């Protein structure tokens, strides 16, 4: 069906933020066209069959969770999405046979912690209360558009005033905590509250996940707070989707199409064409040109402006600043098809309850820091920090009866590796399995096949520059008004009618849909002018 080019908005990339942006643009009366280069929508949120009858969340395996207002507006559950929320959020394992499970229920978590330290059990409840209050302020800030620093509008001033009032309402103690915690190393934040190493490690891991930071890196506590804004439980998110994480983006696609969005898969954009300083059309790999009133990119800022767009349309200063925007990945992914359920020595009597949430290998701050140390010099960690799930325990449709799938994040695996990633692929997989075998000795004999995804694969197959899963480092100097760059944090670019909506924009972290919703709001305002 022909579309009026005065209404058409082309969205590059069918990841979750692209679909959210498209949905809201359609609701505002525009005609979004989503172009996804892969055979299915989803970006990093996809479910694939990697072995006959074994399906797994290929990359991301837990939800952000999705921002409640977005889930409500898109009616995701009505469109087939069913969330799975195990009682246990995370279980962290120690090589000496101990385990600590943290629940969504604070009292149950405190009971578990009390076996290690009654003092920490009391502190945990207090920490969660403070975090819940602070997260409300953070949530509001993450849902706003960063202000124009040089020329703030009345809307900017009002937004900043509301945020300031919300911070003051925290009370002196929690206001001080918010202002103080952000620049801290997450290791200091954890040690300030807890004595138990397993509990410190769970807290610290949340502040370094997906980043080129160690627990002793300044500002890593900010990453913790950003992630806590989506889910204030200190243990982190325990949200999964029936059918794997791809069920979320599938439901988003259905919601978007119901709102009037056109989605084309297998449509790779190779160029954003610019005329007289404005984006006017996109060029596909097939040679097809698609004119548009505006172009919105769900790709990362570097890929959008330095690869898909001719940099000669940008000022030399802007290009230099964008080249210095840090987007170096540290995460690899390993998916395993298993003949049965591994037996973890720390879990007595083969209790599988603790395996239904996330499982952490990284039992102390120093373990996490040592894993980071190796990556600084171009080596992947030989004793890595791992976060894994066994999704087939809560969703039996993902594997044949009696068999299991295991989804494993491996950190740290630097994009800039000494040597060649293809040559190191097998060694990476062996390292992950050998590390896990220290905690589940029978794991190796259960493996039917594995899928190994390196940071280079994340760049080449999934379009993540540098293999960076957040489209750019989450750090103090790349957050809020500086994401991706100072003066360009409002989803616009220096090229007229070209916008960004991916995780390289504010707020940027996880599968929440926040960047897509924020971008849509600003794009609608701009186009209606």
Domain positions in the chain: 8-82+245-326+463-528, 93-230, 327-460
Helix (H), strand (E) at residue 88: strand 88-93
| CA-to-CA separations, 482 to 180, 183, 479, 506, in angstroms, rounded | 20, 15, 5, 9
CA 318 remoteness from chain centre: 26
- Give the pLDDT score at 242: 96
113: DSSP letter: H
Q: Where are the alpha helices (DSSP H) in 231-275?
A: 246-259
Mean pLDDT by 10 residues, the chain (529 residues): 67 98 97 97 96 96 90 96 94 95 94 97 94 90 88 78 78 86 95 96 95 96 92 85 96 98 98 97 97 98 98 97 96 98 87 91 97 95 97 97 98 95 96 97 97 97 96 94 95 98 93 96 95
| CA-to-CA separations, 131 to 56, 71, 134, 196, in angstroms, rounded | 32, 23, 5, 19
pTM of the model: 0.95
User: What 3 state SS string does 119-177 have?
Assistant: HHHHHHHHHHHHHHHHHHHHHHHHCCCCCCCCCCCHHHHHHHHHHHHHHHHCCHHHHHH
**Helix (H/G/I), strand (E/B), else coil: 319:** helix
183: DSSP letter: T
The domain 8-82+245-326+463-528 is placed in CATH, from the list 2.30.40.10, 3.50.50.60, 3.90.660.10, 3.10.20.740, at 3.50.50.60
Complete edge-to-edge strand list for the sheet that includes strand 289-291: 269-275, 278-284, 289-291
- Give the pLDDT score at 165: 80
230: DSSP letter: H
Partners of 294 in beta bridges = 9
Neighbour-count burial of 50, counting CB atoms closer than 10 A to its CB (0-12 exposed, 13-18 middle, 19+ buried)? middle
> Which of 94, 276, 273, 292 has its CA nearest to residue 200?
94
Helix (H), strand (E) at residue 89: strand 88-93
User: What 3 state SS string does 12-49 have?
Assistant: ECCEHHHHHHHHHHHHCCCEEEEEECCCCCECCCCEEE
Strands 289-291 and 358-361, sheet pairing: unpaired
Other Cβ atoms within 10 Å of 350 Cβ, number: 10
Distance (Å, whole) CA 395 – CA 306 = 41
Distance (Å, whole) CA 442 – CA 267 = 44
User: What 3 state SS string does 381-429 have?
Assistant: CCCCEEEEECHHHCCHHHCCCCCEEEEEEEECCCCCCCCCHHHHHHHHH
């Amino acid at each position: 069906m022909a579309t009026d080019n005065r209404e058409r908005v082309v969205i590059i990339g069918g990841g979750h933020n692209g679909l959210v942006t498209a949905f809201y643009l359609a609701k505002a009366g525009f005609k979004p066209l989503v172009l996804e280069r892969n055979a299915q929508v989803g970006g990093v949120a996809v479910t694939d069959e990697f072995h006959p009858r074994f399906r797994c969340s290929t990359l991301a395996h837990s939800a952000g969770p999705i921002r409640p207002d977005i889930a409500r507006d898109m009616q995701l559950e009505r469109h087939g999405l069913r969330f799975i929320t195990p009682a246990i959020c995370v279980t962290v394992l120690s090589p000496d046979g101990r385990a600590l499970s943290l629940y969504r229920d604070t009292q149950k978590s405190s009971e578990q912690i009390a076996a290690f330290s009654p003092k920490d059990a009391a502190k945990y409840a207090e920490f969660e209360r403070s975090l819940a209050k602070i997260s409300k302020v953070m949530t509001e800030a993450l849902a706003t558009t960063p202000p124009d620093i040089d020329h703030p509008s009345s809307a900017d001033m009002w937004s900043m005033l509301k945020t300031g009032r919300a911070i003051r309402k925290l009370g002196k103690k929690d206001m001080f905590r918010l202002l103080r915690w952000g620049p801290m190393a997450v290791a200091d934040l954890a040690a300030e509250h807890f004595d138990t190493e397993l509990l410190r490690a769970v807290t610290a891991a949340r502040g370094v996940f997906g980043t080129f930071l160690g627990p002793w890196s300044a500002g890593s506590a900010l990453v913790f707070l950003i992630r806590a804004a989506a889910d204030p439980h200190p243990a982190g998110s325990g949200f999964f989707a029936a059918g794997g994480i791809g069920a979320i983006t599938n439901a988003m696609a259905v919601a978007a199409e119901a709102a009037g969005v056109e989605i084309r898969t297998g449509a790779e954009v190779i160029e954003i064409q610019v005329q007289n300083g404005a984006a006017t059309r996109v060029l596909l790999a097939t040679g097809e040109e698609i004119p548009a009133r505006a172009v919105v990119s769900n790709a990362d800022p570097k890929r959008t402006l330095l690869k898909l767009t001719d940099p000669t349309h940008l000022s030399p200063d802007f290009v230099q600043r964008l080249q210095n925007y840090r987007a170096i990945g540290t995460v690899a992914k390993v998916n395993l098809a298993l003949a049965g359920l591994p037996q973890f020595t720390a879990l007595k009597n083969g209790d599988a309850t603790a395996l239904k949430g996330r499982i952490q290998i990284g039992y102390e701050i120093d373990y996490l820091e040592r894993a980071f140390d190796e990556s600084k010099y171009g080596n992947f960690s030989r004793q890595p920090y791992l976060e894994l799930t066994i999704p087939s325990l809560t969703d039996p449709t993902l594997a044949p009866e009696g068999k299991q799938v295991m989804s494993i994040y491996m950190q740290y695996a630097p994009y800039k590796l000494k040597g060649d990633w293809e040559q190191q692929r097998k060694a990476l997989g062996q390292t992950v399995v050998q590390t896990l075998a220290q905690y589940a000795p029978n794991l190796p004999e259960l493996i039917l096949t594995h899928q190994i995804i390196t940071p280079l694969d994340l760049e080449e197959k999934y379009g993540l520059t540098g293999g960076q899963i957040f489209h750019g480092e989450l750090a103090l100097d790349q957050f809020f008004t500086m994401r991706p760059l100072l003066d360009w944090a409002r989803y616009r670019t220096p090229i007229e009618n070209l916008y960004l909506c991916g995780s390289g924009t504010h707020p940027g972290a996880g599968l929440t849909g926040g960047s897509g919703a924020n971008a849509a709001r600003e794009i609608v305002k701009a186009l209606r002018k």
